[in-house]
Structure 1
Amino acid sequence: MPDKPNDQSNDKPIEDVDFDLETSPLFPAQENVVKSDKLSPLVWISLAVLIIIALGVVFVLPTIVEEYELPLEKRVQVSPSLPGARPAQELGISPFELAQQAIHRKEAQDVLASLLELQADLDAIEVDSWGGEVYREAISFAEIGDGFYREQAFIEARDSYSQGLNALQNIIDTTPEVLVRLLQQGQIALEVLDAQLAAQYFSQALLLDIENSLAMAGLARAKTLDEVGGLISRAQTRYEGSELEAALELYEQAFSLDPQYTALGTNLNRVKQAITENEFSQIMSEGYALLENEQPELAINAFRQASNLGIRIEQALAAITQTENQISSREISTLQGQISSAEIAEQWAEAVSAYKEVLSVDGNLVFAINGKDYAEKRLRLDQLLEASIAAPERFADDEVYQQTLDIYYTGRAIEEPGDKLVQQLTTLQELLDSSQQSISVQLISNNETQVSLLRSGGLGLFQRQSISLKPGRYVLVGQRQGYRDVRTEFMVGFGQTPTQMLIQCDEKIIASRGR
């Protein structure tokens, strides 16, 4: 401040006072400070530095960011500010506004850095080859953000960068779906034998998942696909030329290279089916030829071999049935001839056996069922007649006689009997008739032996006696005290009647000592 003027009313001169600023107790040691209304030069220097920094942030930094932090595309060098732009002081921008701009610019830069990081990750997996329009749209958001950034519209730039960032993140999030699509497209390319396209899809899939087994397998298949396609083409040519075995060999070579090729398996089955069809037709033809040559058994073997091929089984079985029917018919015809001969000759045992053979061929044949029943009855009658004729002596028994008579009348009831039956009945009738005619038999004894006829009664003691007996077999028994019994069997009738029968006990029994 300026010194106050001296008081002019006091005439006394003022004595000079020596102020020693360094020694004065009121002013300790300090520098002299000159008070003045002017600002210090240091303040002006500080203000100048702050203004320069603010101008650098506003005008210089955007150019640096544009040149070094936005490598999305090659930029054209532009001036640090838009044409006609004026310094911040001229625009009247306050320091607060400058600070807000700096904050928004930093936010935009941070989002951009994240966007660039995602872009680098996607570039590493060649997103250009599979990202398509979605990727280009994401980049367009970043380019729009660049425009806002150049105009210092940092909020709009940040929002555009965020849209691009989100779009790129969505692309990364959808990589599993993209991987599936690439694998499917690769598989389709394999099926149409496009080795180059298949390799492209599977290679892209491996960029998304380097350890994906399906992609690795598909890429390996793509490497042999051209060779597989060549083999298939040659095989198809052989197949169309009916060279089935050659076609099969080529298809099998292709299958060994790529067993997963679906169409290849279909073609293999088609050729194998054609070969089997040819073999079936050939075997069936051989079977019918054997049948025509009267070799039905061999024909059946051929038809069975054809049925074992696994195709047209019903046709083969029908041929077997037809042949078996022919064989059966022929066998039955032969057996019918045997039956007829046996029945005419009244060889009923042979007829029964033949009927059984017919029924073994076809158990439902009515003629065989009925014929067997009749033949068995005739066989039984024949056996009874033969047994009766062979033992006429049994007729002496009334019961046996009656049974034999029933047999005789059973035979008589048969219409149109054969010569054998007629002869049997005639013989039996004679035996039956003669069995009822008594014959006189002379018995001789010693008048000391008790004689009896079994089943007839005692005859007593006699020396000579005549009795009448029906034809048959008889037994005389002689008994005498002290003598051994005697027993004599004889036949009456049928030309076997003895002239006389001696029955007496002559062997004396000697008693044992010591009894």
Structure 2
Amino acid sequence: MPDNNNDNVDSTEFDHNDGIQYSDQDSQLKPNKPPVWAWAALGGLSIVALLVIFVLPSIVSEYELPLERRVETAVVQPREAALIAISPFEEAQRSIQRKEAQDVLADLLAKQAELESLEVSSWAGPAYDIALERASIGDDYYRTQDFILARESYEAGRDDLIALIDSSPTVLAQTLVDAQQALIGNDAATALDKFSLALLFEPDNEIAQIGQQRALSLDEVSGLLSEAEELADDGELEQARTIYLQILDLDNYNDVAQEQIQLVSQQITDNEFARIMSSGYALLESGEAEQAIEVFQRAANLGVKQNQAIAAITQTENEIANAEINQIRSLITISESDEKWQTAVDEYDEVLAIDSNLLFAINGRDYAGKRAQLDQLLVGALANPERFSETVVFEQTLDVYYTGRAIENPGPHLTGQLDELEVFLENSQVPIDIQLVSDNLTDVTLLRVGSLGNFERTAVALKPGRYVAVGKRTGYREVREEFTVGFGLTPSSVIVQCDERIGASNGR
């Protein structure tokens, strides 16, 4: 791993003035001429300079990174380093390069710490090791003060770590998939490990939070599932459902328990439905149809197999309806025999209220309605025979009479009505003389007949009926006299004269 201690890799700095001081001291000791050894040293330095100029470039080009052999051959003695001085600009550039390498290293270490917190070794161990190995090469370059190569190595390692961090969403998704599979396979330990790892990636991940809680109770839940299944197989449905509900208390996301609760509950309801329907049919067989309908309705309210319950209700209602219809039909027969047609109409309406599609009731009601209407017309005509004197009324009544005569098997009541009406119709056309008396001063008009003028006594032949005589006289109040001709109501005479003065009445 990269080392952050820079003390071991910093090159020793020599001040180039040190060499000048040494030369001054020698000159003070021997002011006249240089010693022999100084000439020898100067010759050696010249040789070294020639080597640096002509030989060193070929060595650098021959040995590429990490240039370890160059490090070994580049070691110089302090006195030689003092003579080969580093310029301030070069030293400044080296400091910048060192700082850049240190910054990249700091970022690398931050990424390493982030991955360690995500337990990277458990999901990307080999790739993580390779990234660290690449970064560690930078340490070697750093120790030799090759800060550019050190930075590049650190950058390579850091980029690899960033790639691992960037892959965490994909790893998270796969981890959740693996966790769910372990949960389905009842592998509590694996599921717990996977969900816990997912929470390291994303602490607020709801799926991982739920899955972790489910994994904690998975072993207990598995045991309860086996127990509930055995109870259901033995027919102990209520107890099995209780166990499944207990499972949901531990793990309310358990699909198996939820599905089994629905299935067991459905089976319990089906059994209850069958029991209720059986009791309903028993009541129906015993003749208690109304009670049977109530029971069938209770079965329908369970919400299962409603078609069967409704069919049973319909069947029972039909039986009840048929019984009612047969009873009413017997009453209709009696009413028709007695020629009580309006009663028959009402009874037909009761049948149609039970079943509006019964053909006998539809046709029977139509016939009974016509007979009832005929009966009402005959009763009205017989009650007011005096109106037959009116031509329109006579013709209408005559149509009613012929309609009645056209009926086959009319019955004694209708026959009697028609016979009575026949007499009235015949007599209504035979005129009867009526005596009208006046004062010869009153102008008399007989409505529906005409003006009779002034007279003291006159006779008029009138058909049986109801008449009105109107008398008018100037200065006198108008008079109206109503009378009936025939039907035993013919008056001996009708007096029509105005006797009351209008002025005398106002004077009072």
- TM-score of the superposed pair, with normalisation by structure 1: 0.64
Find the aligned partners of 2:106 and 2:390 in 1 and give their Cα distance.
137
Aligned to 1:31: 30
| 2:390 paired residue number | 397
Instruction: Give the Cα–Cα distance (whole angstroms) in 2 for the partners of residues 251 and 344 of structure 1.
Output: 71
**1:180–1:272: structure 2 CA closer, same or farther, 3 Å change rule?**
same
Q: Secondary structure at the match of 1:460?
A: coil
Deviation at 1:255? 1.2
Name the amino acid aligned to 1:408: Y
Higher mean C-alpha displacement, 305-314 vs 243-252: 305-314
User: What is the identity, as a one-letter code, of the residue corresponding to 2:456?
Assistant: L
Secondary structure at 1:473's aligned position in 2?
strand
* Structure-2 residue corresponding to 1:386: 379
Write 1 or 2 for the structure with the bigger share of helix. 2
Query: How has the CA–CA distance of structure 1 residues 276 and 132 changed in structure 2, closer, same or farther, with 3 Å as cutoff?
Result: farther
8 A contact 2:105–2:154 mirrored in 1: yes
The partner residue of 1:421 within 408, 414, 420 is 414
User: Structure 1 34/490 Cα, relative in aligned 2: closer, same or farther at 3 Å?
Assistant: closer
| 1:486–1:505 Cα contact (<8 Å) kept | yes
Q: CA–CA distance in 2 between the matches of 1:116 and 1:400?
A: 123
Map of 2:212 onto structure 1: 219
In 2, Cα distance between the equivalents of 1:208 and 1:513?
120
SS of 1:245 mapped into structure 2:
helix
- Residues 476 and 503 in structure 1, CA contact (< 8 A), matched pair in contact too: no
Distance 2:460 2:120 in 1: 141
Within 2, Cα distance between the matches of 1:318 and 1:308?
A: 14
In structure 1, distance between residues paired with 2:378 and 2:404: 9
One-letter identity of the residue aligned with 2:73? L
Shift of 1:412: 0.7
Deviation at 1:187, TM superposition (A): 2.3
Higher RCO, 1 vs 2 (CA within 8 Å, ≥6 residues apart): 2
Q: Match for 2:456 among 452, 458, 461?
A: 461
Instruction: Report if aligned partners of 2:128, 2:161 keep a CA contact under 8 Å in 1.
Output: yes
Q: Quick check: 1:296–1:327 contact (8 Å CA) kept in 2?
A: yes
How many Å separate the matches in 2 of 1:172 and 1:453? 125
Cα root mean square deviation, aligned? 5.1
- CA distance in 2: counterparts of 1:242 and 1:439, whole angstroms: 102
In structure 2, the residue matched to 1:275 is: 268
Structure 2 residue 211 is matched with structure 1 residue 235? no
TM-score computed with the length of structure 2 as normaliser:
0.64
Q: 1:259 aligns to what SS in structure 2?
A: coil
Map Cα deviations across residues 158-216 of structure 1 (whole Å, 9 max, x no partner): 99999999887765554433332222222233334433232222233344445544433
Secondary structure of the 2:504 match is coil
Per-residue deviation, 1:483: 8.0
Structure 2 counterpart of 1:236, which letter?
E
Could you tell me which amino acid in structure 2 is paired with residue 416 of structure 1?
N
Structure 2 portions without partners, runs of 5+: 1-26, 46-67, 76-101, 138-149
- Please give the residue correspondences for 1:427-506 in structure 2 after superposition, counting only pairs within 5 Å: 427-439=420-432, 443=435, 454-455=446-447, 456=449, 458=452, 460-462=455-457, 469-475=462-468, 488-498=481-491, 500-501=492-493, 503=495
Alignment of 1:123-134 (within 5 A): 125-131=118-124
One-letter amino acid of the counterpart of residue 455, structure 2: G
Corresponding residue SS for 1:414: coil
- Identical amino acids, percent of aligned pairs: 44
Shift of 1:488: 4.8
2:438 and 2:444 mapped to 1: Cα distance?
Answer: 14
Question: Which amino acid is 2:409 matched to?
Answer: E
The alpha carbon displacement at 1:296 in A equals 4.7
Deviation, 1:427, is 1.0
Deviations 1:42-65 (A, max 9, x none): 99xx9xxxxxxxxxxxxxxxxxxx
Q: How far apart are residue 254 of structure 1 and its match?
A: 2.0
